[in-house]
Structure 1
Amino acid sequence: MSPSSPSPRDPIRAPRVLAWVLLGCGLVDGAFAGSIMGKVIFAGALPPTARVPVTIDQYLCGQEKPADDLQVSSAREIRNAVVWVENAPPGAAAPAVRKVEVDQKGCTFVPRVVVVPAGGTVDFLNSDRLLHNIHATPQANVSFNRTQPMGRTIPITFAQPEIVRINCDLHSWMTAWVVVAAHRFYAITGPDGAFAFDDLPPGQYRLQVWHERLGTVPASVTIGEQQPAQVRIEMKMR
């Protein structure tokens, strides 16, 4: 998949990447099947922590918000990076979960990044006591711009794989991302920067790692016949 994004930062442009790979695989259901375990790490000097001024509905939203477009732990682990296997095994099925939720809570999209399979649905919620909207102009999916009062759920189905940016036009600092997956081998890194894939046959795999601010970087890993393959991927500011 070659995901596209409407981000003005052009996240598809790739910065440098450094990966260390250990080889191996596990034993699953009596037959050899491999797994990949990895972490996404920030390399280089960290930019200052940014805060965004709140210009409307301050009685509920506050005076300012953290930018949240780059969340890095004290150990330099990157949260909300999306990792996928570019050359997934033939016939790789879509994940069983076909629906996810994104709430508008405290004038912030929660969670900020979600993965949904192609043909799956995102339920957009509004838990705030004010009016929001959800606005997106994807390239492969249908555009939408819907107002959303408190308590209303708006389901949006995404038919084609791509990366879609979601904005609230009423609150300009609010951004979310929907990554529409072509198969089940997609993962979002948590606060520890970790991701994992299971049930892969032995072989060499090409990974892609996308982050809204850091762009997209490639990596590769080989699953052999010993231990789970481990990969450490570094991302840098462009």
Structure 2
Amino acid sequence: MKITPILALAASATIALTLATANSDTPAPAAGKVHGRIVFDGKVEAPKPLKIKADQAKGCCADGVAVDAVNRSLLIGADKGIANVVITMSVAGAKLEVPKEPIVLDQQKCHFEPHVSIIPVGATLRFANSDAVSHNVHTYSIKNDPLNKTVAAKGKIDMKVAKAEPITIGCDIHPWMKSYAFVTDDTHWSLSDASGRFSIDGVPPGEYKLSIWHETLGKAKATVTVKADFSSEAVEVKMGKKKKRRRR
């Protein structure tokens, strides 16, 4: 069978296109993402170190090693990015995914690790203790049942969260210890890194409202649009300390 030059050219183009598609390392995205930065609005001041008494810190670390006194309540990077900011949003029709296994909040060298956790409603929060000393886990909340129990060295205790709210966590034995479990019923979320950046994957096209929370700076909101081609512009949200009103 003889193939005319035009048909041969078309056949070659089809084969080349097929091979290029098959060998492509960049598949078409199935969904978009929401991304951006949380930045501090105001004058950056050095954080005050934690007050740690030597007698209370006995056994927290190896002999001769001091407990880390860095105050994590407001960590601001060199470019004013804020760490540990919670960003949540909901996607219509998406299901809240609750892990079957407990989400672990450890106690290491008399600090909670991580400092901020995002916990979906219905999940189990496990307070582990990797230290050689006991801790007393004390939670402060409005909607969830409080917990106030001692966790022995190398021990653990579980707590199920049922309502959306930020929960403050402390230790009555070591008063400088503090952590936050942000319980959410939103379907998608992210926690900002040391540079203030965050990213939320698996977002279909549409307009979304972002709910933003920080332990010291409070709440903020933002709106973002994921386009039909799954692209979106980076969001920048500024957060600052609220000015105290002067009494007249």
Same fold (TM over 0.5): yes
1:207 equivalent to 2:194? Answer no
Q: What corresponds to 2:96 in structure 1? A: 94
* Structure 1 residues 1-238: aligned runs within 5 Å: 28-29=29-30, 33-55=31-53, 56-61=55-60, 62=66, 65-85=69-89, 88-95=90-97, 97-98=99-100, 99-226=102-229, 227-238=231-242
Task: Give yes or no for contact 2:38–2:238 (8 Å, CA) kept in 1.
Answer: yes
Deviation for aligned residue 1:82: 0.2
Q: 2 CA distance for matches of 1:154 and 1:42?
A: 36
CA displacement 1:82-108 (0-9 Å, x = unmatched): 0011xx222321235353111111111
Q: 2 CA distance for matches of 1:162 and 1:233?
A: 21
Task: Give yes or no for contact 2:224–2:232 (8 Å, CA) kept in 1.
Answer: no
Q: 1 CA distance for matches of 2:41 and 2:71?
A: 20
Higher helix share: 2
Task: Give yes or no for contact 1:134–1:168 (8 Å, CA) kept in 2.
Answer: yes
Higher gyration radius (CA): 2
Q: 1 CA distance for matches of 2:52 and 2:221?
A: 36
Task: Give yes or no for contact 1:124–1:155 (8 Å, CA) kept in 2.
Answer: yes
The normalised TM-score by structure 2 is 0.78
Task: Give yes or no for contact 2:91–2:188 (8 Å, CA) kept in 1.
Answer: no
Structure 1, gaps ≥5 residues long: 1-25
Q: 2 CA distance for matches of 1:64 and 1:121?
A: 28
Deviation for aligned residue 1:200: 2.2
Match of 1:65, as an amino acid? A
Match of 2:34, as an amino acid? I
Over aligned residue pairs, what C-alpha RMSD do you find?
1.9
Task: Give yes or no for contact 2:98–2:122 (8 Å, CA) kept in 1.
Answer: no
Match of 2:106, as an amino acid? D
Runs of 4 or more, structure 1, over 6 Å off, are none
Q: 2 CA distance for matches of 1:104 and 1:176?
A: 10
Task: Give yes or no for contact 2:67–2:109 (8 Å, CA) kept in 1.
Answer: no
Q: 1 CA distance for matches of 2:234 and 2:68?
A: 39
Match of 2:139, as an amino acid? A
Q: 2 CA distance for matches of 1:58 and 1:163?
A: 27
Match of 1:73, as an amino acid? G
The normalised TM-score by structure 1 is 0.81
